[in-house]
């Protein structure tokens, strides 16, 4: 196991070094000096998008591009693939829970499923998609040519695919082993059979994570570490970009809400992921090199929980804040007015960022830690609900005083507001020690956090995918289908996780493949709700792909009538310029479809 770990670390290190060298030498040929010490091609970094013309084609483009919009798309596609994989886990979990016995999959498979589901969704889906959206739109919103460090940007992205393979390789290897076992003698490939999907939970609690003999656990820890480095690289890049590349035309007072939240998120990530990185290394050392950070009879396992949740709680805000940012950005557009209480929404984001580091032990109320420490964590946890509520009230007031248009993005905003109320209030209940002692490790907790993780986060991603679809693809999506999809998604989430809250309030513990028969009805409702979510996601995917290939072309940039209310913001102005250029140089005019000779002068 030890050798395998070292080998993988060495191979990864070499691959990374090679990659850095490759991108370094490739860029030193010509062009203007870039901020990160390399050289940009002559045509790069023009805000009008002229760089697209100089791009190489095919796979080389995607491997070597430093264009923030390309990298944005790569992140989004990667995150979506991860989400689908994590979603398949979720569907398998819920299918198992249709019946009280563990008869669809084994209990071990069930444990592996909730382990990989959690990690895939948190690490490989949410942050990559939000960073992808930020890659694409943040420079447009702040009037920058690109991110401050375009090649570090690319490097950060390309750490993710190996991270995915390391984290999720257990399944691939064990399936390969079973397949090969049909043709070759089993003892020739028995080392492959040693590698299994990990069954230790996404929180990797010691001592279970120390005792598991599965070498895949080590690969998973390495993969998580790699993804953490990628997150840190991207975070540094976003922060520096906003502070150094912001156009003079965009004042801090005008800076959009998505950028504000992204800077806060990146700041939290810098602090939190360095702690996670250390924790992962300590766990690897304990597992392979005989150290005893977490192995001591007294306190070691609790130490893991402290360090893990010191990352784990800020992590929940790392993944949700960009969603809040998108809410603050998109919701006013379809309410026909600017965001109510803009300054307070920004301040509350900072407040959440700071407070999120002071609440971690609310995940440990039942571990027997000192009651005085516990009480202080209760106080801060209750306090963090205040900035969350400030946001909620400002969004509601924006709608209240606005002229609402129920487009698909707006349906998602309204849905997200609703699920966040439920997720937030159940969080406040859990923050109260006496209630948490009752509900800890029941389905109530799962219901609480999924109302936000499955409510706000994917809702806002989908809202953004519809809202900005014309900018990314130049086409329009199928709007009635999108509205239907938004409604089914919101209903699916409310049914699934509403039923889970009830199940938990009735006392059913989480993380078991089996349950007493009297819960069957509630569990079936939950599973049906989950299938509705699954179908809704497929409808979204269909709409995205189909509209990308066959959607109606957009020729007029103000698709959402934003000019009317003075909200035709920078990214749309950029799009308008793009459209003007596209239709001036593509050999015809946008309005008329005549047989005139191609025009290049507009
Ligand atoms: C209104 C503010 C919030 C408060 C007061 C709060 C409080 C809590 C508490 C006390 C727990 C521990 C329950 C237990 O294990 O016994 C918890 C769990 C959790 N919360 Fe929240 N929460 C809040 C908002 C959020 C948000 C915004 C997210 C996600 C974006 C989130 C995600 C989670 C997750 C993932 C867990 C459980 C992790 C696990 O045990 O697997 N919470 N929350
Ligand atoms: Cu927490």
Model pLDDT for residues 446-480, shown as the tens digit of each residue: 999 999 999 999 999 999 999 999 999 999 999 99
Q: Quick check: 40 and 150 in contact, CB under 8 A?
A: yes
Ligand 1 atom showing the smallest separation from residue 425 Cα: 1
Give the ligand at the shortest distance from the Cα of 431. 1
Confidence band of 177 (pLDDT split at 50, 70, 90): confident
Q: Quick check: 64 and 23 in contact, CB under 8 A?
A: yes
Confidence band of 584 (pLDDT split at 50, 70, 90): confident
CA distance 517 to 101: 9
**Taking CA 164 as the corner, what is the angle to CA 160 and CA 166, rounded to the nearest 5 degrees?**
115
Amino acid 32: pLDDT: 54
The three-state secondary structure class of 507 is coil
Residue nearest to atom 21 of ligand 1 (CA): 427
Amino acid 425: pLDDT: 96
Determine the distance separating the centroid of ligand 2 and the alpha carbon of 317, expressed in angstroms.
9
CA distance 534 to 88: 9
For 152, the token pair is 């570090």
CA distance 576 to 581: 9
For 231, the token pair is 């997150």
Determine the distance separating the centroid of ligand 1 and the alpha carbon of 487, expressed in angstroms.
26
Confidence band of 48 (pLDDT split at 50, 70, 90): very low
Give the ligand at the shortest distance from the Cα of 428. 1
Q: Is 224 close to ligand 1, i.e. is its CB under 6 Å away?
A: no
Residue nearest to atom 10 of ligand 1 (CA): 431
pLDDT digits (tens, 9 = 90+) for 413-458: 999 999 999 999 999 999 999 999 999 999 999 999 999 999 999 9
Give the ligand at the shortest distance from the Cα of 311. 2
Ligand 1 atom showing the smallest separation from residue 440 Cα: 16
Q: Is 449 close to ligand 1, i.e. is its CB under 6 Å away?
A: yes
pLDDT digits (tens, 9 = 90+) for 89-104: 999 999 999 999 999 9
The three-state secondary structure class of 556 is coil
Q: Is 427 close to ligand 1, i.e. is its CB under 6 Å away?
A: yes
CA distance 200 to 54: 48
Write phi, then psi, for 32 (nearest 5 degrees): -90, 150
Judge whether residue 116 has pLDDT over 60: yes
Q: Is 454 close to ligand 1, i.e. is its CB under 6 Å away?
A: no
Confidence band of 39 (pLDDT split at 50, 70, 90): low
CA distance 334 to 402: 8
Residue nearest to atom 3 of ligand 1 (CA): 427
Q: Is 363 close to ligand 1, i.e. is its CB under 6 Å away?
A: yes
Least confident of 147-151, 173-177, 471-475, 503-507: 173-177
The three-state secondary structure class of 207 is coil
Amino acid 423: pLDDT: 97
For 328, the token pair is 């603050």
CA distances from 184 to 169, 173, 192, 194, 375 (A): 21, 15, 12, 16, 60
Q: Is 388 close to ligand 1, i.e. is its CB under 6 Å away?
A: yes
The three-state secondary structure class of 402 is coil
> Residue 475's beta-bridge partner residues?
553
> Residue 476's beta-bridge partner residues?
552
The three-state secondary structure class of 569 is coil
Judge whether residue 45 has pLDDT over 50: no
CA distance 444 to 426: 8
The mean pLDDT of the chain is: 89
Q: Quick check: 442 and 510 in contact, CB under 8 A?
A: yes
Amino acid 176: pLDDT: 86
Q: Is 92 close to ligand 1, i.e. is its CB under 6 Å away?
A: no
Residue linked to tokens 């919009």: 69
Q: Quick check: 256 and 569 in contact, CB under 8 A?
A: yes
| CB neighbourhood size of 495 (10 A) | 17
Ligand 1 atom showing the smallest separation from residue 457 Cα: 30
Find the helix or strand (DSSP H, E) in which 79 lies: helix 68-96
**Taking CA 58 as the corner, what is the angle to CA 53 and CA 61, rounded to the nearest 5 degrees?**
60
For 298, the token pair is 């007294």
For 545, the token pair is 């792909």
Q: Is 461 close to ligand 1, i.e. is its CB under 6 Å away?
A: no
Among 391, 384, 447, 444, CA closest to 417: 391
Which residues neighbour ligand 2 (ion) by CB within 5 Å? 313
Judge whether residue 347 has pLDDT over 60: yes
Ligand 1 atom showing the smallest separation from residue 362 Cα: 10
Determine the distance separating the centroid of ligand 2 and the alpha carbon of 358, expressed in angstroms.
10
Q: Is 316 close to ligand 1, i.e. is its CB under 6 Å away?
A: yes
Q: Which of 326, 359, 362, 446 to mutate to test the pocket of ligand 1 (most atoms within 8 A of CB)?
A: 362
Among 71, 51, 64, 57, CA closest to 24: 64
Question: For the chain, what percent of residues have pLDDT higher than 90?
Answer: 79
Q: Which residues contact 202 (CB under 8 A, 6 or more apart)?
A: 114, 115, 117, 118, 119, 122
For 314, the token pair is 């800020």
Ligand 1 atom showing the smallest separation from residue 363 Cα: 12
Determine the distance separating the centroid of ligand 1 and the alpha carbon of 113, expressed in angstroms.
21
Write phi, then psi, for 39 (nearest 5 degrees): -130, 140
Give the ligand at the shortest distance from the Cα of 362. 1
Among 326, 328, 390, 316, CA closest to 353: 316
CA distance 564 to 281: 55
Helices (H), 143-252: 150-158, 160-180, 190-194, 208-211, 216-245
Q: Which residues contact 474 (CB under 8 A, 6 or more apart)?
A: 553, 554, 579, 582
Q: Which residues contact 547 (CB under 8 A, 6 or more apart)?
A: 469, 473, 475, 476, 477, 478
Find the helix or strand (DSSP H, E) in which 511 lies: none
Judge whether residue 538 has pLDDT over 70: yes
Residue nearest to atom 32 of ligand 1 (CA): 449
């Amino acid at each position: 196991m030890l050798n395998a770990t070292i080998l993988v670390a060495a191979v990864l290190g070499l691959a990374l070094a090679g990659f850095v060298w490759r991108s370094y030498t490739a860029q030193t040929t010509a062009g203007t000096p870039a901020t990160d010490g390399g050289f940009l091609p002559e045509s790069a970094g023009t805000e009008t998008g002229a760089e697209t013309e100089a791009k190489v084609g095919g796979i080389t483009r995607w491997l070597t591009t430093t264009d923030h919009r390309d990298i944005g798309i790569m992140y989004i596609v990667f995150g979506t693939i991860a989400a689908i994989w994590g979603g398949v886990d979720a569907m398998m979990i819920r299918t198992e829970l249709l019946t009280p016995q563990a008869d669809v999959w084994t209990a071990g498979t069930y444990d592996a499923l909730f382990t990989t589901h959690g990690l895939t969704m948190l690490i490989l889906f949410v942050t990559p998609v939000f960073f992808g959206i930020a890659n694409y739109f943040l420079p447009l919103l702040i009037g920058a040519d690109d991110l401050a460090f375009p090649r570090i940007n690319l490097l950060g992205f390309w750490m993710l695919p190996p991270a995915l393979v390391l984290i999720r390789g257990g399944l691939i290897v064990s399936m390969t082993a079973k397949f090969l076992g049909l043709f070759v003698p089993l003892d020739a490939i028995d080392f492959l059979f040693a590698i299994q999907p990990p069954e230790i939970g996404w929180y990797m609690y010691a001592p279970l994570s120390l005792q598991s003999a599965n070498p895949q656990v080590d690969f998973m820890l390495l993969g998580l570490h790699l993804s953490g480095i990628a997150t840190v690289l991207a975070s540094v890049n976003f922060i520096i970009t906003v502070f150094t590349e912001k156009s003079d035309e965009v004042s801090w007072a005008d800076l959009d809400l998505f950028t504000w939240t992204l800077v806060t998120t990146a700041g939290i990530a810098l602090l939190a992921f360095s702690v996670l990185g250390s924790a992962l290394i300590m766990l690897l050392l304990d597992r392979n090199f005989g150290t005893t950070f977490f192995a001591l009879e007294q306190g070691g396992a609790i130490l893991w929980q402290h360090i893990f949740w010191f990352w784990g709680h800020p992590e929940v805000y790392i993944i949700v804040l960009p969603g809040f940012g998108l809410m603050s950005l998109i919701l006013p557009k379809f309410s026909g007015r600017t965001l109510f209480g803009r300054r307070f929404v920004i301040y509350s984001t900072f407040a959440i960022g700071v407070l999120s580091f002071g609440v971690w032990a609310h995940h440990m109320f039942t571990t027997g830690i000192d009651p005085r420490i516990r009480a202080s964590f209760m106080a801060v946890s209750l306090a963090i609900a205040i900035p969350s509520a400030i946001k909620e009230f400002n969004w509601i007031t924006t709608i209240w005083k606005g002229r609402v248009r129920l487009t698909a993005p707006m349906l998602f905003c309204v849905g997200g507001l609703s699920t966040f109320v439920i997720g937030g209030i159940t969080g406040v209940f859990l923050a109260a020690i006496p209630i948490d002692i009752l509900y800890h490790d029941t389905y109530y907790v799962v219901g609480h956090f999924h109302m936000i993780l499955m409510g706000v986060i994917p809702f806002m991603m989908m809202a953004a995918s519809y809202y900005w679809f014309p900018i990314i693809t130049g086409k329009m999506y199928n709007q009635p289908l999108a509205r239907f999809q938004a409604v089914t998604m919101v209903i699916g989430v409310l049914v699934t996780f509403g039923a889970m809250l009830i199940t938990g309030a009735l006392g059913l513990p989480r993380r078991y493949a089996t349950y007493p028969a009297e819960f069957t009805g509630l569990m079936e409702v939950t599973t049906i709700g989950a299938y509705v979510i699954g179908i809704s996601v497929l409808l979204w995917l269909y709409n995205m792909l189909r509209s990308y290939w066959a959607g109606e072309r957009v020729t007029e940039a103000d698709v959402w009538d934003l000019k009317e209310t003075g909200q035709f913001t920078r990214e749309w102005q950029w799009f308008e310029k793009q459209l003007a250029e596209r239709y001036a140089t593509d050999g015809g005019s946008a309005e008329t479809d005549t047989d005139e000779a191609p025009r290049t002068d507009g």
